[in-house]
Structure 1
Amino acid sequence: MATKLTLTERLSYGLGDMGTSLAYNMASGFLLFYYTNVVGLPAAAVGTVFLIARLLDAVIDVVVGIAVDKTRSRWGRTRGYFLFVALPYALVTVALFHMPDWSEGAQLAYAFITFKALGILMSLQAIPYTALMPMMTLDTGERLKLSGMRGVGTSISVVMGTAAVMPLVGLFGGSDQKQGFQSVAMLFAAIGFVCTIALYRNCRERFEDTSPANFAILPAVREMLQNRAWLVVFASCLLYFIRFGLMMSATAYFAIDVLGKPWMISIMLPAVSGMLLLSSVVAPPILARTGIRRGCVFVLGLSAVLFALLPLAESSVPLFLTVYIAACLATSITITAAFAMIAETVDYHEWKFGSRREGLLSAGISLSTKVGMAIGTAGFAFVLGAAGYAPDAVTDTARDAIRWAYYGSAVLLLGLQTVVMLAWPMDALRETIRNDIAGRSPAPAE
């Protein structure tokens, strides 16, 4: 049964991504820069902090996902998380960019604690958010519309969390970058809080897992690992976010130290995923016509080719940015598709195992994004450390390391993601699965 969603629901769902992503994008794009260039911490040590903190999310995300599947409350299964996590998430966002004047060891400990807290609270907000979509509607067209709105929320948060950060740091802090980052973090925390409350107030859960809340955990995890659709989305998102994490961390260094054009940060960083704003409009009709598998394979291959051509375009800024933005648009189509694909892993799971497990499946995908970001961010920090990067005396060796980490990782990871997408099963099975589920599912809650 198709469920038509209201415009308010779709808009509020899109705002929900801003509630989580705004602080996360600022941290992804500038936290390494803030720690190394503003606070003065060593890059390799910061990379280790990022990597350990994110790898610990492997346990946390699974625990949160299982908790969502076991939750039965007056607010539903997901909405209570938005209500009670919104304020703590905002407060930790502020703390993240408020480094005390302590010793280096104490500052690294503070960085780990606050970054880890951000990750935990993000799990408590992002996993229920992702789990909410398949609870709102079973219709693929409506899910693609929700994915488009989520893409809008993501792209706005990327533009604000990347392109707007340094101008706002200058506006609020002047020559005092430390004060500027603190002020921007406070502003983004307030905006994120309002967006999350809008999600809580306006989005409804219509379809619920009718299986018992007290299920055995290990068999549920084993079933998740046997879900082919989930495995494809997990691997695809892992590869996407390794590349995303590296590029978000590396772009400021690439623009300043390789291209010698700091102003390009405000164009290149938003384009990494800011093209989702355009993708949210063009992707749903394209993917509805081509199918998710065929459409994603084409744009991933195209993007890999475009990134491979970028080194040849460095001498011409207009040509470089044209090729770069086109490549980013192509990859953005795949992340719009991924939002709908995550919901379809729930349908596949119910069809194969008789339970929906929205929380656990969403937790697994959230884990792939966090581990991917950790590997990408820490990997680039290790590249800087190995190349002997020093902000005040950048060597040719360091520049070459930044350049080829930037280009080479993109081509390799996009190629691998293309291969993974060839295994996506739902385009061929969707109608069979939907018909089987419809024949045994109860009517949606009113």
Structure 2
Amino acid sequence: MAENRLSLAERLSYGLGDMGTSLAYNMASGFLLFYYTNVVGLPAAGVGTVFLIARLMDAVIDVMVGIAVDKTRSRWGRTRGYFLFTALPYALVTVALFHMPNWSQGAQLAYAFVTFKALGILMSLQAIPYTALMPMMTRNSSQRLKLSGMRGVGTSISVVLGTAAVLPLVGLFGGGNQAKGFQSVAMLFAAIGFVCTVALYRNCKERFEDGSSPDFAILPAVHEMLRNKAWLVVFASCLLYFMRFGLMMSATAYFAIDVLGKPWMISIMLPAVSGMLLLSSFVAPPILARTGIKRGCVFVLALAAVLFALLPLAESNVALFLTLYIAACLATSITITAAFAMIAETVDYHERKFGTRREGLLSAGISLSTKVGMAVGTAGFAFILGAAGYVPDAVTEGARDAIRWAYYGSAVVLLALQTLVMMLWPMDGLRETIRVDNAARAT
């Protein structure tokens, strides 16, 4: 069957698609707060407000993009035109994000908001069609897990480049001038992301379409989405994951420098937050195929929560600390590989329950959960810094304690909540029944 014949070039290009979108986003997640506060000199609370408002606005933007994807019928298909027409603007905004003009503080905060919001809009225009593309490429669950693995490879490479490589490259290109270094790295990553997105456009094909009319009523469609149990589980799981991810990506540089007193650990800890996704991309598909998504994810999430709870006891032993930390990151990365396949399965669940697939709208809802989660996590940490009176050149013990317990406590609590959510995943016992029902409806 055509759905079982995805070429290696197509699978690789699908993985590159995530890298094209995520590289700039990971650099921004890991270092934009640091760049604004420690390089530009903006107040942490003001930057946190910029991040929070910009991301909360995505609630409307993401839904609009998802609906647009479901209504799109073009010579490039339903999704591929979005990759073609956003590749260059996304690259240009990436460069602008790390090129702060020498203006007044108020004007700089306004510039930060405009460029960060532009990045979010363009990311929506890439990421939502990209997520919607997988169920259009294949309906085979094994093939979807393989595509999820390739997407995990692209994600992990973008994390390694967007986190571990950033500060060394800033030093290399900047020659002691951090502002110049960040600008140069942003230009390099913009070029890489552009090439990856073009490869996605050229090589990935849409094979399956939603046969329903593109002229559908929006509010009833949103109401149906909110009644999709599989979608609700993925939404809540991704929301909790990215709240933790956003806080840890923003906090790791501060944690390594001001709490552990070991700046060199940034280049290990930041990519490990989700860099273990590279290994997970290969080990997760066979594991999850054997255990089922629900049982496998519940186990690794509970394990990760325990490992993070043990980290404060290991601060004085670097080797043990990093061993526990990396093991926890590998465990959580398995759940993200699972999430990529789960998102596609929410479409099958939706088709069985409502008779329509709505790939764009369902993907938009999940994209919204990741952005809101990142916003709450990143802004929350910025507000903690502000409340603790953080000053880069004079860090108090109170500020150090606030950073330490925000780092550990948020991970344990959010992982525990995500474990409970994953226990509600309905598809493991229904997948074959839904496949048969949907196939019968199509004939």
Q: What TM-score bracket applies, with the shorter chain setting the length?
A: over 0.9
Structure 1 regions of 5+ residues with no counterpart?
Answer: none
- Give the Cα separation in 1 of the matches to 2:4 and 2:341: 15
RMSD: 0.6
Q: Is 1:408 equivalent to 2:420 in the alignment? A: no
Q: Which residue identity is paired with 1:25?
A: N
Which position in structure 1 is the counterpart of 2:281? 280
SS at match of 1:138: coil
Q: Show the counterpart of 1:84.
A: 85
Opposite residue 216 of structure 2, the aligned amino acid is: F
Q: Which residue of 1 aligns with 2:61?
A: 60
1:377 aligns with 2:387: no
Q: Report how far residue 439 of structure 1 moved.
A: 1.3
Structure 2 equivalent of residue 145 of structure 1:
146
Post-superposition, which runs of at least 4 consecutive aligned residues in structure 1 deviate over 6 A?
none
* AA at the equivalent of 1:118: L
Aligned to 2:17: 16
1:330 Cα deviation from its structure 2 partner: 0.1
Residue 234 (structure 2) pairs with residue 216 (structure 1) = no
Q: Which amino acid aligns with 1:180?
A: G
Say whether residues 1:69 and 2:56 are aligned partners: no
Aligned counterpart, 2:262: 261
3-state DSSP of counterpart to 1:380? helix
- For residues 57-86 of structure 1, the C-alpha deviation after alignment (integer angstroms, 9 at most, x for no partner) is 000000000000000000000000000000
Instruction: Find the residue that maps to 1:102 and give its secondary structure.
Output: coil
Q: Which residue pairs with 1:396 in the alignment?
A: 397
Partner Cα distance (1:337, 1:287) in 2: 8
C-alpha distance in structure 2 between counterparts of 1:33 and 1:3, whole Å: 45
- Name the structure 2 match of 1:201: 202
Aligned to 2:126: 125
Question: Within 1, Cα distance between the matches of 2:53 and 2:438?
Answer: 41
Secondary structure of residue in 2 paired with 1:364: helix
Amino acid at match of 1:355: T
1:285 maps to a residue whose letter is: P
Output the CA distance in 2 between the equivalents of 1:54 and 1:295.
Answer: 31
Structure 1 residue 330 and structure 2 residue 359: aligned? no
Matches of 1:424 and 1:3, distance apart in 2: 26
Q: Residue 255 of structure 1 aligns to a residue in which SS?
A: helix
Partner of 1:317: 318
Aligned counterparts of 1:384 and 1:196: Cα–Cα separation in 2 = 36
Residue pair 1:4, 1:142 contacting (<8 A) in 2 also: no
In structure 1, distance between residues paired with 2:6 and 2:234: 25
Please name the residue that 2:185 is paired with. 184
Aligned-partner Cα distance in 1 for 2:252–2:114: 26
Residues of 2 paired with 1:53 and 1:139: CA distance? 37
Question: How far off its partner does 1:440 sit?
Answer: 2.0
- d(CA) in 1 for partners of 2:176, 2:296: 47
Task: Please give the alpha-carbon distance, in whole angstroms, between the structure 2 residues aligned to 1:312 and 1:150.
Answer: 35
Q: Which amino acid aligns with 2:93?
A: V
For 1:73, what is the secondary structure of its paired residue?
coil
| Mapped partners of 1:233, 1:92: distance in 2 | 30
Aligned residue number for residue 172 of structure 1:
173
Cα separation, 2, equivalents of 1:74 and 1:439: 29
1 CA distance for matches of 2:334 and 2:422?
13
How far is the alpha carbon of 1:4 from its aligned partner?
A: 2.5
Shift of 1:417: 0.1
Instruction: Determine the structure 2 residue equivalent to 1:419.
Output: 420
Any idea what SS the aligned residue of 1:209 has?
coil
CA distance in 1, matches of 2:89, 2:414: 35
Deviations 1:131-177 (A, max 9, x none): 00000000000000000000000000000000000000000001100
- 1:301 is aligned to 2:302: yes
Q: Which amino acid aligns with 2:278?
A: L
The residue type paired with residue 325 of structure 2 is Y
Deviation at 1:40, TM superposition (A): 0.1
Equivalent-residue separation in structure 2 for 1:286 and 1:103 (angstroms):
54
SS in 1 for 2:200: helix
- Note if contact 1:211-1:355 (Cα within 8 Å) is conserved in structure 2: yes
| AA at the equivalent of 2:293 | I
Measured after TM superposition, the shift of residue 438 of structure 1 is 1.1
Aligned AA for 2:338?
A
Q: Give the match's secondary structure for 1:34.
A: helix
Note the C-alpha offset of 1:3: 2.5
Contact 1:49/1:112 (<8 A) preserved: yes
In the other structure, the counterpart of 2:271 is 270
* Equivalent position SS for 2:76: coil
Query: Residue 250 of structure 1 aligns to a residue in which SS?
Result: helix
The answer for unaligned runs of 5 or more in structure 2 is none
Distance 1:9 1:352 in 2: 31
Listed one character per residue, the Cα deviations across residues 319-355 of structure 1 (whole Å, up to 9, x for unaligned) are: 0000000000000000000000000000000000000
Secondary structure at the counterpart of residue 430 of structure 2: helix
Q: CA deviation at 1:421?
A: 0.2
| CA–CA separation in structure 2 for the residues paired with 1:5 and 1:411 | 39
Report deviation, 1:245: 0.1
